């Protein structure tokens, strides 16, 4: 199964990661070390409330989900890393991205995803990503 790391578990990272979990993929959410938000994710999981009234709760015990902080040594490499931190924090997460990737890891910057039409557009238009997600 494809392993996906979301670096930045704020609103954008949470929304993108939750969509991937709903699609049946394995997702690790990495938040800022020591932040209240990251502590809450680890303890309570993730809750999303959609404009249409739908509510999604992803338990911290979900078998395909892990909530960590970026100080955590995950001891493995990821197939896809989605970077969802604010631009001024990019330099801070570069060592974490390097530690959790290989030359074959697909790196997606969340700000660019939203500027270019969304994650689904990228997934459906790139054969290499489709192949990675289905293997």
Mean pLDDT score of the chain, rounded to an integer? 83
The pLDDT tens digits of the residues spanning 16-75 come to: 999 899 899 999 999 999 999 999 999 999 998 888 888 889 999 999 999 999 888 898
pLDDT for 53 equals 86
Both structure tokens of 125 = 């238009």
DSSP 67: E
61: its two tokens: 């015990």
**pLDDT at residue 100 in the model:** 94
Identify the pLDDT of residue 105: 93
**pLDDT score for 134:** 43
The neighbouring-strand residues paired with 7 are 30, 83
pLDDT at 121 over 90: no
Buried b (16+ CB within 10 A) or exposed e, 70-98: bebebeeebbbbbbbbeeeeeeebeebbe
Query: Which position has the higher pLDDT, 31 or 122?
Result: 31
d(CA 109, CA 57): 25
Residue 133 pLDDT: 46
For residue 9, pLDDT beyond 50: yes
Q: How far apart are CA 77 and CA 109, in angstroms?
A: 18
What domains, with CATH codes, occur in the chain? 3-134 (3.40.50.720)
């Amino acid at each position: 199964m494809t392993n996906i790391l979301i670096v930045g578990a704020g609103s954008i990272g949470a929304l993108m990661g939750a969509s991937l979990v709903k699609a049946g993929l394995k997702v690790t959410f990495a938040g800022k070390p020591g932040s209240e938000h990251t502590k809450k994710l680890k303890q309570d999981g993730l809750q999303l409330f959609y404009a249409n009234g739908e509510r999604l709760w992803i338990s911290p015990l979900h078998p395909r989900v892990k909530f960590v902080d970026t100080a955590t040594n995950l001891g493995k490499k990821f197939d896809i890393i989605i970077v969802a931190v604010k631009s001024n924090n990019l330099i801070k997460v570069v060592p974490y991205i390097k530690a959790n990737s290989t030359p074959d890891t697909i790196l997606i910057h969340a700000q660019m995803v939203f500027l270019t039409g969304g994650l689904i557009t990228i997934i459906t238009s790139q054969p290499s990503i489709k192949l990675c997600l289905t293997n």
